[in-house]
Amino acid sequence: MAKTGKQYIFLTAFILLILVILYIFLKSSGILFKAPIQSSNLVKPSYLLQPIPKIDKIKTIVDNPKFKELKYVKSFFEPVESTVSGRANPFMPFAETEEKK
């Protein structure tokens, strides 16, 4: 009987260890305990802190002759051209090719 009692103690300790690990994992991942979102923790980006300009001010800027003098130099993003390189399927083994004589 002493051997089975000792086994139950180890089994209980093992189950408690598993439960503690699961509790820590669920608590750290936020699945089990979700903290309420507080607005003081959220920080707005700096461009959202500035007021939106009125439409008259935007219209004045667009109608400015200096703005109209701006010239298109080049595209901001250069297109990426795809090239054929490598094998079509990199996981396919190399095929032995017979050389013609």
pLDDT in tens, 10-34: 999 999 999 999 988 888 877 666 6
38-59 confidence digits (pLDDT tens): 656 677 778 888 888 899 988 8
Q: What is the mean pLDDT of residues 60-85?
A: 80
Q: Is residue 70 part of a domain?
A: no
Percent of the chain at pLDDT exceeding 70: 75
- For residue 20 the two structure tokens come to 């503690």
Asked if 87 and 95 count as a contact pair (C-beta separation under 8 A), the reply is no
Assess whether pLDDT exceeds 70 at residue 100: no
Q: Is residue 12 part of a domain?
A: yes
Q: Is residue 8 part of a domain?
A: yes
Q: Is residue 96 part of a domain?
A: no
Closest CA to 33 of 42, 41, 24: 24
Question: Structurally, how many domains does the chain consist of?
Answer: 1
Q: Mean pLDDT of all residues in the chain?
A: 79
- In a 3-state reduction of DSSP, which class is residue 37? coil
Query: What is the model's pTM?
Result: 0.33
